[in-house]
Structure 1
Amino acid sequence: MIAKVDQLILEFDKVVNEPWNSTLSGQERVWFLVYDPAEQRKVSLRIGEFETATLRAGKKWQAISMKNCFPEWMSKHDYRDEYFANPEYIVDQLEAEFIPFAIKFLKEKLVALSQDSDTLVALLDVSSLFGFARLSEIIKHCDRDFQGRLLIFFPGEFEQNQYRLLDARDGWDYMARPITI
């Protein structure tokens, strides 16, 4: 029996080797690589195989991690010590300050990349945003900032055109392409 991560790599390999239509909107050029959250470590250990499949398909690979987004925002916040003492106080700040920060964080990372219409940008560690911001809110503001494809490594589920991060949040409809097993 073939492992789930191996199946996911095979499915990704099929998709990345298809012709890339240049007339799609930014939302349609987003790919969600959807996998069981329990497989996160296995997927993370095999990121290099996704990169290899991309390069073998004649495309370029760039990667962005969202892991440091929240820590960077929190480290610069005037009231960070108070928030650590009373975490419930941060809730209002997430909507007003963190989401715009996360959008700017991702936009700046995308702009800094060397990319063209044959570049696949892998967005890693999106689960680090869980509980702080909705990924959909961030992605919808950044869908014009990449030129090729945006591949989101997504620990969650896809069912009836709904994506749910970590299987715990209400999902959202998105025009992105799911890659699942």
Structure 2
Amino acid sequence: MSKIDQLAAVFRDHVAVGWPSGSSGAQRVIMIVYDPNDERALRNKIDLFAQAARAHNYGWHSIDLTSYFGRWLGQHRYREGYFEEPHMLSAGANERFTQHAAEAVLSVLERPEHTEREIVGLIGVASLFGVAAVSDLLARTDHAIKGRLAVFFPGHARDGRYRLLDARDGWDYHAVPIQIESSGAHQ
């Protein structure tokens, strides 16, 4: 069984148990943590996670942020200046892009179809690296989660600390981690 198949099995087991309805927004986030090298394999098998949700009578809807930054920057009125001097992005554009990405996630979470019986899969958070923090995105959106937000997270998690792409210091978050150990044991 591949690592992604194992990860989907851990997710399926988690979904089978269910969850309390009184959870806070941060507790409604499921961080599906996987090795960044497995990104392509995960994307090829993303339907395993949707099938796991549906097998336990949960709806599934996904949003992929992979192309959001490129589209946002391509439409930005100062795009030419940013292309000429990319360091200028850190002078405030990151905040505006983070808000843009949060609004995209909120548009999915605030749909009438998003109920306590739906899981929203958030794909492509690696594309935020260097531009927006996943922690900031979640802080801006977790209040709107009625069901669950399953964040596909390429990196590592340990003791509630998450490190995206293993390239920066992690942050503490109260999400439920779904991951496999290198030994194959579930955590």
Structure-2-length-normalised TM-score: 0.91
- Matched with 1:47 is 46
- Matched with 1:35 is 34
Structure 1: 5+ residue stretches without partners: none
1:91-106 to structure 2, matched below 5 A, reads: 91-106=90-105
What SS does the aligned partner of 1:153 have?
Answer: strand
Structure-1-length-normalised TM-score: 0.94
- Matched with 1:3 is 2
Query: What is the CA-CA distance between 1:80 and the residue it aligns to?
Result: 0.3
Query: What is the CA-CA distance between 1:170 and the residue it aligns to?
Result: 1.2
Letter in 2 for 1:21: P
- Matched with 1:164 is 163
Q: Give deviations 1:6-32, integer Å, cap 9, x for gaps.
A: 211111111011122101111101000
Q: Give deviations 1:8-62, integer Å, cap 9, x for gaps.
A: 1111111011122101111101000000000011011001111111101111111
Q: Give deviations 1:129-163, integer Å, cap 9, x for gaps.
A: 11101010011111121210100000000012210
1:138-153 to structure 2, matched below 5 A, reads: 138-153=137-152
- Matched with 1:76 is 75
- Matched with 2:131 is 132
Letter in 1 for 2:16: N
Runs of 4 or more, structure 1, over 4 Å off, are none
1:94–1:133: 8 Å Cα contact kept in structure 2? no
CA 1:157 to 1:78, structure 2 compared with 1: closer, same or farther past 3 Å? same
Superposition CA RMSD, Å: 1.4
Query: How high is the sequence identity, in percent, across the aligned residues?
Result: 37
2:65–2:124: 8 Å Cα contact kept in structure 1? yes
- Taking the aligned partners of 2:12 and 2:130, their CA distance within structure 1 comes to 32
2:95–2:132: 8 Å Cα contact kept in structure 1? no
- Matched with 2:58 is 59
Structure 2: 5+ residue stretches without partners: 181-187
What SS does the aligned partner of 1:32 have?
Answer: strand
Query: What is the CA-CA distance between 1:118 and the residue it aligns to?
Result: 0.7
